[in-house]
């Protein structure tokens, strides 16, 4: 059974940092691309990933987080994905989801391309 499990969400003050983790099970590394999405309550989940990574480690970021967020694979365990978030702002407050695309090979696709989702982890940034 394919599963994604996020962790690391918390409440922090503006300017703070958090590191989110996403553990992928049931999918061999190399058979999927992984992305992070976020959703504010009452608003549709953003169509584009805020960060994405391919199986060879190339990355892509949304303009809103570029220079502040870093997506990576944990050394020694490539099925654990990390999202380092620095200089957090109140507008980063959202539920954060990791998602895997194992169906069409698009590593920087949009929401419909990702076929497996985690349950989400809440990030709250206060001013």
Q: What are the tens digits of pLDDT across the range 31-62?
A: 999 999 999 988 888 888 999 999 888 999 99
Confidence of residue 73 (pLDDT cuts 50, 70, 90): very high
Instruction: Give strand pairing partners of 106.
Output: none
Instruction: Give the per-residue pLDDT at 26.
Output: 94
pLDDT at 65 exceeding the cut of 90: yes
Distance CA 84, CA 116 (A): 21
Note the pLDDT tens digit of each residue in 20-29.
999 999 999 8
The string of pLDDT tens digits covering residues 79-119 is: 999 999 999 999 999 999 999 999 988 888 889 999 999 99
Name the region of 32 (left: φ>0; alpha: ψ -120 to 50; beta: rest): beta
């Amino acid at each position: 059974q394919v599963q994604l499990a996020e962790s690391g969400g918390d409440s922090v003050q503006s300017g703070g940092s958090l590191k989110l983790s996403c553990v992928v099970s049931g999918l061999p590394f190399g058979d999927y691309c992984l992305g992070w999405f976020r959703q504010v309550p009452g608003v549709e989940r953003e169509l584009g990933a805020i960060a994405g990574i391919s199986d060879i480690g190339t990355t892509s970021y949304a303009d809103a987080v570029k220079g502040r967020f870093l997506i990576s694979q944990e050394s020694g365990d490539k099925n654990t994905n990390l999202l380092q978030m620095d200089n957090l702002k109140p507008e980063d407050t959202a539920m954060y989801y990791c998602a895997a695309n194992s169906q069409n090979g698009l590593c920087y696709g949009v929401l419909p391309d990702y076929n497996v989702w985690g349950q989400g982890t809440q990030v709250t940034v206060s001013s």
